[in-house]
Each structure stands twice: as structure tokens, then as C-alpha cells.
Amino acid sequence: MKLKRFANVFIYIVMLLLAVIYVFPFIMMVGGSFNKQSIFVPDPLIWIPKEVSLLNYSTIFSQGMVAKWFLNSAIISIVPVITTLLICSAVGYIFAKKKFHGSKTFFWIFMAVLMVPSQLTLIPRYIMYSKFNWIDTFWAFLIPGMWSVMFMFLMKQYISTIPDSLIDAANIDGCGDFIIFFRIIIPLSKSALATVATFTFMNKWNDFMNPLIYTSDSTMYNIVVGFASLLQRTANFGIQMASAVVSFIPIFILFLFFQKYFTEGIVLTGIKG
């Protein structure tokens, strides 16, 4: 009994230490954003504000392009969320519940795409987008971001856990694939859909590489590239941290709303292959 109690205490202590380690960067980020320090000093306690000030935030929002950068980030983040949810769930449903000739071959061809690092395709994609006149337009982000092989696989794994008896019963009642998909598959896949939506939004909102390469006009920057261009002109630690807080808030709010479904979706998507 004492050994079990000691083990529980030890586990709690380890978990507490891990929690502190993971939370500390966020505390440092928020604390540093209120610091009036105008230059970066290699001081380990620089993130502790001696005097709380909103100067860094007012400096950021005084920039005329911040609202435009937020709008750009919203467009290239929200639209792919909608298209990814629809396309990946539909394709996942087909591979999970529909048997047709060559289905496994097509599935593994899709999965093979994941083996290719995206960095290898940057130059070919840039050449192709320039031929399509997509550079400095939203099309360079919206069309390639319509769906993701990874999230198709995730949806396929989750939909595989839905009993076939439900679909068979719907077929007996005369329901077609369209009704089955929207009346049965989608309602029962809320957890996986919340996971896909959260990851997609987070990936698109935090995307730095693609907006940096495919945009040269500052009016087309997303919030990440926009703040990076702003920080190039200053070594202000406080502004750096305030920029990080501002760009982090939308993702944090989204996670709060979908936390329950997000956690459940992560757990259940790996139950059945």
C-alpha cells in the first residue's frame, strides 16, 4: 500500500515538473510582451517585466498593415479548413467503406506522397504557380490547401470504426451514399472532424515558408510573415513576444472550443486500421 502511494506521489511530481517545463515558454512569452525593454539583452530574467506596459502591443497595432495581415491569415486558414473537412471526410469514407477494384493501390499511392518532403517541391511548385499567375494571390494557398493526404488518412481510420451495420440499415431504408454521408458519417465523426479542423487551421495560420516564398507584396503577407518582416527592423524583445502572443491567441481560442472533440479524435483515430 505504501509502495503504491509512493509511486502515485512520484508520478504526480513528474507530471507537475513536465507541466511546468511545457508551460514556462508561454509564461515567458506573455511576461516578455509586457516588458518595456527596447533592446535585446541576454538576461535570463528579461521576460519578467519590471513595469507592466502595453507599449509593445500599441506599437504592433499602430502598424497600418496588421489588419490586412490578419485578414490574409483568416482567408488562407479558414477556407482550407472548410474544403479539407469536406474532401478528406468524403475520400476517407470511400476508402473506409467502399470496396472497388484497385482501392488499396490508390490508397497507398496517396500515402506514398507523405514520403516526399515538401521542401523538395518548393522550386517546381513556384515555377508552376508562376505559370498560372498565382504568385502574390490567394490561389497559391487555397488550391493546394484544399485537402491533405494526412487528414484523409486520419478520417479513413476514424470512419473505419463506424459499424457497417448502420450503413447497411440505411441502405435497406433506401438511403443513397449522399444521405448516408451527411446523415450518418458526418454526425458520427465530429471528434475526428474537430481534430482535422484544429490541425488544419493551426498549420495554415502558423505557415511561414509558403507565404514567404509565394508572396513578395507586403499586402499579401499573412500574420506570421508580416510580423517577421516587422521584427527585421527591430531587436525589441518585447515586440517579439507581443507578436507571438497576438498570433497565438486565435489558435488558443480555437483549441478551447474544440478541446473535448480534439482529444477524443486523437485517441480514437488509431483504434482500427
Q: CB under 8 Å, gap of 24 or more: what pairs does 211-214 form?
A: 211/72, 211/76, 211/141, 213/122, 213/126, 214/126, 214/129, 214/134, 214/135, 214/136, 214/140, 214/141
pLDDT at 132: 95
**Mean pLDDT computed over 108-127:** 88
pTM over 0.75, yes/no: yes
Total residues found in the chain within this entry: 273
The single-letter DSSP state of residue 100 is -
Question: What's the whole-number average pLDDT of the chain?
Answer: 85
